[in-house]
Amino acid sequence: MKAFLIEKYGDQSAVRAAEMPAPEPGADDVLVKMHAASVNPLDFKIRDGDFKMILPYRLPLVLGNDLAGVVVQIGPSVTRFAVGDEVYARPDKNRIGTFAELITVHQDDLAPKPAGLTMAEAASLPLVALTSWQALVEKAQVQPGQKVLIHAGSGGVGTIAVQLARHLGAHVATTASAANAELVKELGADVVVDYRNQDFEELLDDYDVVLDTLGGETLEKSLRVLKPGGKAISIAGPPDAAFARELGANLVLRQVMNALSLKTRRHAKRHGVTYSFLFMRADGDQLRELTRLVEAGEIRPVVDRVFPFDQTCEAMEYAEKGRAKAGKVVVAMA
């Protein structure tokens, strides 16, 4: 099968097309013929080696973290899917590789593709939708009437998180460019801060939850717009000890991650709020919950551009250089 992989960590020049053996499904695995995959910032970070300390992948490594396709073979213990089913998923972090013509996925990480979506639209959703769910529903436990700030509302995570927060009954603020203000309002934002000309810290206060997708100074400022007891959840900030425990990391790695987030946690404590890092995980059952919201019209995918599979490298470069106006970049195999 054809796949896009890296043989060593590096920049975009390290990614190349290659022929790989077709994967064989294990007892609980489903073999999926890929129809579409989407590009995520996580792909660049893995490619660059940013996570090699905590995710020690064996090289060569096929990249890609989102999929939509059709089941072509099932393992002997699979009970949830049959050959011919249309599915979508974010594979487990240890079994990535969706920039390929075929992939095996554990049945518990898959969900039926939402009815009415194209393969490209479905492939744009799993990672960002699960990130939004695990941040807002699982960690923050957002309640109706609460105030939620979501950074980069026109980005991949932002476009879905804004819609999910609205569905949960929250008052939603987001940061976006003026050009994308109408889009994020349509998605459910009550307040839009033009990040190029306005400082969200001066305009917002007394928020219950912040979902930070940018890290750095944005995260530090976000701690100051929360009310006492508020929660800052970041997918771009420093990892913490809780994340290390979730990984099953050894004592040394837990101490390293604890040290990395010490400054941020101290600042959070000073403001009477909490900070936590989120590295989303694969979860087919949560994806089924999100499927219901998609099919009910509560959440819709936002796709910026679809590239043919042969142009996967170009798709990654397009996304990495910030050329997408809003939403996700997708590669289509079929």
Mean pLDDT of all residues in 151-172: 98
249 closest CA partner among 215, 277, 210: 277
Rounded CA-CA distance 61/63 in Å is 6
Mean pLDDT of all residues in 5-30: 97
Check if the beta carbon of residue 316 is closer than 8 Å to that of residue 43: yes
Q: What is the pLDDT of residues 189-219, one digit of tens each?
A: 999 999 999 999 999 999 999 999 999 999 9
What fold characterizes domain 127-277?
A: Rossmann fold (3.40.50)
pLDDT value of residue 238: 92
- The percentage of residues in the chain with a pLDDT greater than 90, rounded to a whole number, is 91
pLDDT value of residue 20: 96
Mean pLDDT of all residues in 275-294: 97
Q: What is the pLDDT of residues 11-22, one digit of tens each?
A: 999 999 999 999
- Quick one: 2-125+301-332 is in which CATH superfamily? Medium-chain alcohol dehydrogenases, catalytic domain (3.90.180.10)
Q: What is the pLDDT of residues 228-237, one digit of tens each?
A: 999 999 999 9
| Common-topology check for domains 2-125+301-332 and 127-277 | no
Check if the beta carbon of residue 103 is closer than 8 Å to that of residue 123: no
Residue 334 has pLDDT above 90, yes or no: no
User: Which positions ≥6 away from 145 have C-beta within 8 Å?
Assistant: 169, 170, 171
Rounded CA-CA distance 97/79 in Å is 23
Global pTM? 0.97
The DSSP letter of residue 82 is -
Task: Return the domain boundaries, the chain.
Answer: 2-125+301-332, 127-277
238 closest CA partner among 208, 218, 258, 268: 258
Q: What's the mean pLDDT when you consider all of the chain?
A: 96
Confidence of residue 54 (pLDDT cuts 50, 70, 90): confident
Check if the beta carbon of residue 276 is closer than 8 Å to that of residue 258: no
User: Which positions ≥6 away from 262 have C-beta within 8 Å?
Assistant: none
Residue 171 has pLDDT above 90, yes or no: yes
Check if the beta carbon of residue 30 is closer than 8 Å to that of residue 67: no
234 closest CA partner among 291, 303, 302, 161: 161
Q: What is the pLDDT of residues 79-96, one digit of tens each?
A: 999 999 999 999 999 999
Mean pLDDT of all residues in 145-159: 98
Residue 248 has pLDDT above 80, yes or no: no
Angle at 69 between CA 92 and CA 325, to 5 degrees: 80
